[in-house]
Amino acid sequence: MPPARPSGSAPVPLRKPPQVLMIKKEEEVAAEAPPTPAASSPAAAPVRPPSFPPADGTRFDMDGLEGLTMADLLGPATDRRGGSTSRGSAAAAAEAAPGAASRQARTVDDFDFDEEAFLAALDENAPVGTTGEVVKGVVIGMESDGVYVDIGGKAPGFMPKSECGLGVITNLKERFPKGLPIEVLVTREQNADGMVTISARALALRHSWEKVRQLEKEGKVVQVKVSGFNRGGVTCDLEGLRGFIPRSQLNEGENHEALVGQTLGVAFLEVNAETRKLVLSEKRAASAARFATLEVGQLVEGHVASIKPYGYFIDLGGVSGLLHHSCITGGVLRDLREAFQQGEHIKALVTAIDPARGRIALNTALLEGPAGELLIAKETVMAEAEDRAHRARSLLRQQEQDAG
C-alpha cells in the first residue's frame, strides 16, 4: 500500500521513465495520423507514420559534457600510453592538440632501443646444437636411463645409457661423475622444451672410422682378435668397429671356425663408414708388410711377371710394381720386348707408392747415362745400377721440389 500523502500539500506528479514517454509519444502520433487505405486499393500506397528518434538529452545526461574537448576526454598523453614518452614535450603537445594540421613521424631514435641487449637476447635464445655437431659440456646429473649434460643451451642435453660409450657400461655414476667435462655428438635437435639428444658413442664411432680410414690410406697392417665366425668367414673387433674377414682372404680358410680367439695380422680391403662395411684380409697383410719396407727412390729387384701394351708388371716378392713404357728408356722404344723379356731379372727405381690402391711405380730410364743406353748396353746399366741409383735419387728429389 503506497504511503499517505500529507494533507494540505500540493500533489507531486509522478515522473515516468524516458522510454515510457517515448512510447507514449509514438502512440499519440499514430492516433492522430489519418487512417490507412485498404490494402486492396491499388491506387493507395501504404503510409508509414513518421518516426522521431529520442533526443540525446532524453537518453543521456549531456549537461556534464558541455565545454569539454576531445583531448579532455582522452586525458593526457602520459595516461594514454601508460608512462612518459621518449618524444619531446613540444611534439607531444602538438599531437595532443585538437585539429593539429600535421603530426610528426616516428623514427627509431624516438624509442629506447639497446642494440647490444637485443643481440644478446637473440644469442641467449638461439638453439644450441644441430644434428651432427660436436659440442662440449659438463655432466650435471643422471637418471637410471641416462646422463644430463650442460651444453650451454636453455635446457641440458640428455644422453641415453645406450649412447654413453662403446661397449657395455655397468656403472653410470662411476663412469660419469658430476662435473666431468665431456665431448659429445648431437644426434637429435632440441625438442619443445629446448632439450637435445646427445651421444658419446656416436662420436667415438666417428673417430674410429676416421682412424681406420687413415690406416687404410697408409697401407698399415693391424692386429685383430677373431671374435666369431659364420659360413662366409670370421668377425673381429677393430677400434670399436665390427670387421669381417672373408674365408677367401684367410690363410686357413678351410678351418676358419678354429680361428676364434686367435690374433691375426690383416690389411684393409674395404672401409665404408656410410654403409658400415669394414672388410679385412689376412692374405693382403703380407703384401702390405712388403709395402711398409718400400720408399720412393729405393732400388728394388724383381722379375718380369707379365707384359702388357702399356708396360711390364714386375714381381717384387709378394707385391707387383708397374714399369710403364714411358719410364723404361729415354730412347725410342718401338716394341717392349726390345728392352726386357718375360721372366727376365731386372733392377728398377721406386718412383711412387700408393699402399691403399696397392700400386708401385717403377723406373729404369733414370738409371741410364745417355738417353737410350738401356737399349744398347742393358747389362752395363743393370750392373752399375747401385751407383747410378744415388744420382737418380738426387734427380728425383729435385723433381719433387720443382713440383712442390
The predicted-structure confidence for 239-293, as pLDDT tens digits, reads as follows: 989 999 999 999 888 888 899 999 999 999 999 999 999 999 998 888 878 888 8
Mean predicted confidence (pLDDT) in 205-228 = 91
pLDDT confidence of residue 172: 86
DSSP string, 346-360: EEEEEEEEETTTTEE
| Rg value, the chain, Cα | 50
The predicted-structure confidence for 362-393, as pLDDT tens digits, reads as follows: 999 999 989 999 999 999 999 999 989 988 88
Residue 79 has pLDDT above 60, yes or no: no
Contacts 24+ apart (CB under 8 A), 139-145: 139/176, 139/177, 139/178, 139/179, 139/180, 139/182, 140/178, 141/178, 142/172, 142/173, 142/176
Q: Please, which pLDDT band fits residue 90 given cuts at 50, 70 and 90? A: very low
CB neighbour class for 273 (10 Å; exposed up to 12, middle 13-18, buried from 19): middle
Distance CA 52, CA 386 (A): 129
pLDDT confidence of residue 21: 47
Q: Residue 96's CB: how many other CB atoms inside 10 A?
A: 15
Among 239, 238, 161, 243, residue whose Cα is nearest residue 207: 239
* CB of 177 closer than 8 Å to CB of 216: no
pLDDT confidence of residue 35: 53
Handedness of CA 15, 16, 22, 23 (dihedral sign): negative
pLDDT confidence of residue 39: 43
Domains 218-287 and 293-403 share a fold: yes
Mean predicted confidence (pLDDT) in 300-304 = 94
Residue 122 has pLDDT above 60, yes or no: no
DSSP run (H or E) holding 227 = strand 222-230
Residue ranges of the domains in the chain?
A: 135-204, 218-287, 293-403
Range with lowest mean pLDDT among 181-185, 253-257, 340-344, 399-403: 399-403
Mean predicted confidence (pLDDT) in 227-250 = 93
Phi, psi of 62 (to 5 degrees): -90, -5
pLDDT confidence of residue 324: 95
Is the model more confident about 394 or about 24? Answer: 394
The predicted-structure confidence for 156-210, as pLDDT tens digits, reads as follows: 889 998 888 887 787 888 889 999 999 999 888 777 776 889 999 999 999 999 9
Range with lowest mean pLDDT among 23-37, 61-75, 308-322: 23-37
**All cell numbers assigned to 75:** 586525458
Among 296, 342, 348, 343, residue whose Cα is nearest residue 322: 348
Task: Report pTM.
Answer: 0.50
Q: Residue 189 gets which letter from DSSP?
A: -
Is the model more confident about 210 or about 82? Answer: 210
DSSP string, 4-51: PPPTTSPPPPPPPPHHHHHHHHHHHHHHHSPPPPPTT-SSPPP-PPP-
pLDDT confidence of residue 43: 46
pLDDT confidence of residue 166: 83
pLDDT confidence of residue 44: 47
* CB of 187 closer than 8 Å to CB of 163: yes
Topology (CATH level 3) of domain 218-287:
OB fold (Dihydrolipoamide Acetyltransferase, E2P) (2.40.50)
Residue 398 has pLDDT above 80, yes or no: no
DSSP string, 46-114: P-PPP--PPPHHHHS--GGGTT--HHHHH--HHHHHTS--SS-HHHHHHHHSTT-S--PPP-GGGS---
Residue 63 has pLDDT above 90, yes or no: no
pLDDT confidence of residue 101: 45
Most confident of 96-100, 292-296, 327-331: 327-331
Distance CA 296, CA 396 (A): 9
Q: Residue 394's CB: how many other CB atoms inside 10 A?
A: 11
Residue 347 has pLDDT above 90, yes or no: yes
Distance CA 293, CA 298 (A): 10
**Extended strands (E) in 256-344:** 263-272, 277-281, 299-308, 311-315, 320-324
pLDDT confidence of residue 380: 93
CATH of domain 135-204: 2.40.50.140
What three-state secondary structure class fits 264? strand
For the domain 293-403, what is the CATH superfamily, name and number? Nucleic acid-binding proteins (2.40.50.140)
Among 357, 360, 368, residue whose Cα is nearest residue 391: 368
